[in-house]
Each structure stands twice: as C-alpha cells, then as structure tokens.
Amino acid sequence: MSGLPIYEVIRRDLLSQIRDGVLRTGDRLPSEPELAAQFGVSRMTVRQAIDQLVIDHVVVRRRGSGTYVTSAPRYRRLNRLAPFRDEIGVGDADVRTEIRERRELVAPPDVAERLLLKEGQKVVRLVRLRTVDGEPAALQESWVPYALAPNLAREDLVEGSLYRTLSERWGVAVKWAEQQISAAAATEEQASLLGVPMGGPLMTIVRLTFSGAESPVELAHSWTRPEYPLLTRLDA
Amino acid sequence: MSGLPIYEVIRRDLLSQIRDGVLRTGDRLPSEPELAAQFGVSRMTVRQAIDQLVIDHVVVRRRGSGTYVTSAPRYRRLNRLAPFRDEIGVGDADVRTEIRERRELVAPPDVAERLLLKEGQKVVRLVRLRTVDGEPAALQESWVPYALAPNLAREDLVEGSLYRTLSERWGVAVKWAEQQISAAAATEEQASLLGVPMGGPLMTIVRLTFSGAESPVELAHSWTRPEYPLLTRLDA
DNA sequence: GAGTGGTCTAGACCACATG
DNA sequence: ATGTGGTCTAGACCACTCA
C-alpha cells in the first residue's frame, strides 16, 4: 500500500487524468479549493501536488484564471533523465539496442578520475549501438565501476537499458547526471557504424551519472546523428 | 519599496550570503524554525524560499540533518535562460559582441511560421559574432518581429544583449524558450567567421523564445565552436 | 533523545482575470 | 462582483539523523 504522501497521490491522479485524456490540452483543472474538497485535503496540499506538475511543465498556472494543461507534450520529459526512446524523441518507432562490446578492464586514468576510482580498480566498458527503425542513430560508450555491478559484463541488459539493469539487478538507482553537450567529427569507425560520412558532424554528450549525492555510477560518451536533435526547455 | 513577496526577499538574502561567502560550500543553513524566527515569518514561508534554491541546485535538503550549500557552482545556472557569458561558461573572460548584420525585411515563410506572423509581416534580422578573449566563439542569427521592437535595426544593443535591449527599450520580458540542439558542418562563411575549417563540426542551437504563454519573441539559430560545450544537469 | 526536514491543517487576505 | 491563483500564518505530527 501507499506510504506515499497525499500530494504525490494527487499528483499521480491528475497526471493520469491528463495521460488518459480525461483532461486534455488547454483544459482547465478544477480550482484548488475544488480539488481540496474532492480529495478531502487542505488547499496547501493540493498546491504541493500542482507545484510538481508545474515544474515538469505539465500544467501552467494563470493567476486569476485557473490552472491549465500544457499544450506541448514534446516538452514535458526534458531536463530529466529519461529512457533512450524518450530522449531521442522518436515516439513509437522501433528502437533497438545492439551491444558492440562488453568487457571488464582496469580503468584508464581519465575514466578512473571521473568515477572517483583508485588506480588499478576495474570498470565495465559497454558499447551500444542504438537503432531507430533499423537505421543507426547513436553510439553509446559507458563505463561503470566494477564493484557496483560485478556481473554486468556477463549478463544481459533489461530491455537494452543500463539504468534499468542497474536498478533491478543491483538496486542502484540513478538520481541525477551532469552533461556536456558538444559536436565532433565522426571518426572512421563511428562513421561506418552510424552510416554517416567520415568527418561528418555528430552531436556528442559526455555524461556523468550519480546515485547518491557524491557517488558516480556511470561515465558515458555518446555520439548521435544530427537529425536527432536534443530538445530542451529553458525558464527565465 | 519591494512589492516582492517575503519568500523572495529571503531567497535573495540567502543567495547573497552564499555568493558573498558568508555561507560556503558544504555549510549547513540555519534550520527552518531558526530562519523563521530570524526573519519573523512562519516556517512555511521559509520553506518556500528554500524550495526555489533547491530547484536551482544551490542547496540540498537532507532529512533529519539539515540544508546544505551545494558544492558545484558550475551547475547552478543551467536549464535557465542566461546571458551569453554564463551560457558559454567562460567566467571572467573578455566576451565581446560584433554585429555583422542588422536589418528589417519581410519574414521568410519558415521564420514567419515559427514566429506566428502573417505573410508579408516584417522582422528584424540580427547577426552577431561573439568572441571570447578576442577569439571567435559563436555566431548567432536572430529574427525578431518588427512590431515588437520597431527601432531594433537602428539602435544599439544594451551591452550586446538582445534580451536586455528588448526588456529595457520595449518592456518585452523574455520568460521561457524551447531549444533544439544538434551538430552541423561549418559552411564556408561560418568557417571563415569562426576560424574553423570548412566542413568542421559546430554545435547548433535553434531557439524559440517566448514572452507570454503563446507569443514568440525571437527565433534564433546559433553555431558554436565545439570547445565550448553546453553544460546541463538532469534529475531523475 | 533532541533536532532536522517532510507533510499537513484550516483558516486568512491579496492581486488579478473574466464575465 | 465573483472566482482564481499567490502569499502567509501558527500551529501539528511524523520519519529520519546524529550525538
């Protein structure tokens, strides 16, 4: 059963009403006092639920008017860690993962440093090629501390997802990440794997993922074809 | 004076204490009841102030322990609209703006569409080259509806900043933006302006900036040298 | 066990948008 | 004029951390 705070229950209820089409784009939510009455809670608790939806841009508040369901679902899942399928924004296309390499090795110095490992400690290196409808879309190289997921190099991934695997097999939940986004020219190997001309432009991301406040879980480099831009939303 | 809500005053006070080094990285803030007493407000109001600092990753809360100043100032200003200097993350380097073009014209169809303009309506096109310590770093092409800022093509920008100019001259405050980030090969013109090889990789951003909920203020394309990566932070 | 943040209540007054 | 969200109060109990 629950254990969930009430505002979280309310948040999920509202979210599922939106996802299920009970509340549609542009619709006004019931007013805060109204929701408070419906759920039998105080208005501050309702506000707490709505606060979360506002942070995720699912709804917007308009003072004096009401709270409305946001128009653009494509901007909802951004600035958040998300499964590759959502990140690349291809909707219901056929997304597959092809593992090109998976092995244990002693961490190279630069990798060890960013993962806060000591010299000589091992890591698992994982290289995945992601395809969309059969066409290569992105290449991902991940480094995970061996101590965190000892059998990672010998086990299959849960649905191609490293984060799901870490969570379900080793109870390591990813909490946040920092990213550096840039561009680079495709190397010969990248070009052939991704089906782009050698020297052609690729989006690059270097990501360091954390579980707790200070413990890195994964260092990842990725190269993505430029026709899959990253969508972001910025607030003032 | 003010008109500012109390929690905003408290937020700014705490922020300036952190910026000024009164509260340093890793320090614990006074407890919420303590702050409430200091500022003579209720605890919920203090929490509202701290909520904002948490969203911006300036502090973290630890249940049962306290609220602490975050370690990494470099991840604070992200996922937010920020001046070019902050966005490119060069600290106190010498950032300059060179205007390469500034003129009024009838909006091209694709620009008109994204700015929600009718056929035949005018826009101001602004092309800026940004340099860091004298070296070219980024090229920015902006399209602004003529009706929004009639004299933009004939007036100087406030410190090279389009957003500051729009705000100070025409009272148009930028509220949020959506971005598409990708990569592209430098054209011959871009290559010569940015000092990179023709065909070399550049980070590209297409940004649509809004003032109110539905009114676009600017469509911008930018090309940035890859040695200035974009920093982002993602939450789970 | 004392202190912290997490949650929640049942009110209140205000500024603002809309009919 | 009415209803909306924005702000704020003065409490309360809880789960958790840490000495």
| Mean pLDDT calculated for residue range A121-132 | 94
Asked if strand C contacts B54 at the CB level, meaning under 7 A, the answer is: no
Task: Report which of residues 32-61 in chain A place their beta carbon less than 7 angstroms from any atom of strand C.
Answer: 40-45, 48
- Strand C footprint nucleotides (protein C-beta < 7 Å): 3-12, 15-18
Per-residue pLDDT at A72? 64
Q: Which range has the top average pLDDT, A78-92, A178-192, B147-161?
A: A178-192
Q: Is the pLDDT of residue A109 over 70?
A: yes
* Mean pLDDT in residue range A56-73: 87
Question: In the structure, what pLDDT confidence band is assigned to residue B3 with cuts at 50, 70 and 90?
Answer: confident
Residue B113 has pLDDT above 80, yes or no: yes
B216-224 β-sheet, strand order: A230-235, B176-185, B201-210, B216-224, B135-145, B122-132, B95-106
A2 touches strand D (CB under 7 A): no
B81 lies within 8 A of chain A by CB: yes
Q: What is the pLDDT of residue B77?
A: 46
List beta partners, residue A233: B178
CB B201 within 8 A of CB A140: no
Instruction: Name the nt closest to B64 by C-alpha to C1'.
Output: C4
Average confidence (pLDDT) over A42-47: 96
Q: What is the mean pLDDT of residues A195-212?
A: 93
Whether pLDDT at B76 is above 50: no
| Better-scored residue on pLDDT, A80 or B126 | B126
Question: What's the confidence (pLDDT) of residue B74?
Answer: 55
Q: How confident is the model at residue A132 (pLDDT cuts 50, 70, 90)?
A: very high
Tokens found for residue B63: 């249940």
pLDDT score of A75: 47
pLDDT band at B187 (very low <50, low <70, confident <90, very high): very high
Q: Does residue A20 sit at the B interface (CB-CB below 8 Å)?
A: no
**Which member of A180, A230, A231 has the closest CB to residue B231?**
A180
Name the residue facing A181 among B173, B181, B236 (closest C-beta): B181
Residue with nearest Cα to nucleotide D6 C1':
A63
pLDDT for residue A152: 83
Cα–Cα dist A68/A103, whole Å: 49
Q: Residue A83's pLDDT band (boundaries 50, 70, 90)?
A: confident
**Residue A78: its H or E element:** none
Phi, psi of A143 (to 5 degrees): -120, 120
Q: What integer best gives the mean pLDDT of chain A?
A: 89
Q: Are residues B184 and A181, on separate chains, in Cβ contact within 8 Å?
A: no
Q: Name the band, by pLDDT with cuts 50, 70 and 90, for residue B215.
A: confident
Most confident of A226-230, B89-93, B153-157: A226-230
Greater model confidence, A139 or B231: A139
Residues of B with Cβ-Cβ distance to A72 under 8 angstroms:
178
Q: What is the mean pLDDT of chain B?
A: 89
pLDDT of residue B139: 97
A6-75 has CATH 3.40.50.720 classification: no
pLDDT at A235: 79
Q: Could you give the angle at which helices B32-39 and B43-55 cross, rounded to 10 degrees?
A: 110
CB B148 within 8 A of CB A204: no
Question: What average pLDDT does range A188-197 have in this prediction?
Answer: 96
Cβ separation of A176 and B235 shorter than 8 Å? yes
* pLDDT at residue A77 greater than cutoff 80: no
Q: Which chain B residues in 21-60 sit with Cβ < 7 A of strand D?
A: 40-45, 48
Give yes or no for residue B210 having a pLDDT over 70: yes
What are B142's two structure tokens?
């902006």
Helix, strand, coil in percent for chain B, rounding step 5: 30, 35, 35
Residue with tokens 């090629």, as numbered in its chain: A129
- Dist CA A88 CA A229 (whole Å): 7
A182 touching chain B per CB within 8 A: yes
Where in chain B are the domains?
A: 6-75, 84-224
Band of residue A93 on the pLDDT scale cut at 50, 70, 90: confident
Position with higher pLDDT, A86 vs A143:
A143
- Mark the nucleotides of strand D covered by protein, meaning any atom under 7 Å from a CB: 3-12, 15-18
Instruction: Count CA atoms closer than 13 A to A172's CA, side-chain side.
Output: 23
Residue A90 CB contacts under 8 Å (≥ 6 apart), including other chains: A132, A137, A228
Q: Does any strand D atom come closer than 7 Å to the Cβ of A118?
A: no
Closest residue (Cα, C1') to D19:
B65
CATH C-level class of B84-224? alpha beta
Contact call for B75 and A174, based on CB within 8 A:
no
Identify the pLDDT of residue A108.
94
Sign of torsion over alpha carbons B4, B5, B6, B8: negative
pLDDT at A2: 56
Tokens 């809670």 locate to A41
